Amino acid sequence: MKILIAKERQKIYPDKLEQDINTNEGIIRKKDYNSRKEIITTHKGIKILKINPDFHDLFNNMKRGPQIIRPEDSALIIFLLGVMEGYNVLDCGG
């Protein structure tokens, strides 16, 4: 995974490309992206910085699966829904 930074925006791409990428900044050539260069120039002449992601970037890009609702979270959900004593609640799962 690589991070491309251009004009204070960043986008994450895979390690290797199979074809050229079309971006708002221009076309990034496959051979330039897959090379060891840190600065890539698009066909429009815009320079883009290519860096390796850190832990924070990898963590934010991770897919999340189903999770357990902890007691403190369920209490907040019940409070926000306005559930009171005597109400019937049906859990449909997910």
How many Cβ atoms are within 10 Å of 24's Cβ, its own excluded? 11
- In the chain, domain spans: 1-88
The whole-number pLDDT of residue 62 equals: 80
The first and second tokens of residue 18, run together, are 């199979």
Identify which of 36, 33, 15 has the alpha carbon closest to the alpha carbon of residue 25.
33
Residue 2 has pLDDT above 80, yes or no: no
Write out pLDDT tens, residues 29-80.
989 888 888 898 889 998 888 888 888 877 777 888 888 888 888 888 888 8
The whole-number pLDDT of residue 86 equals: 92
Are the C-beta atoms of 39 and 48 separated by less than 8 Å? yes
- For 1-88, CATH number out of 3.40.1190.20, 3.10.330.20, 3.30.980.10, 3.50.30.50 equals 3.10.330.20
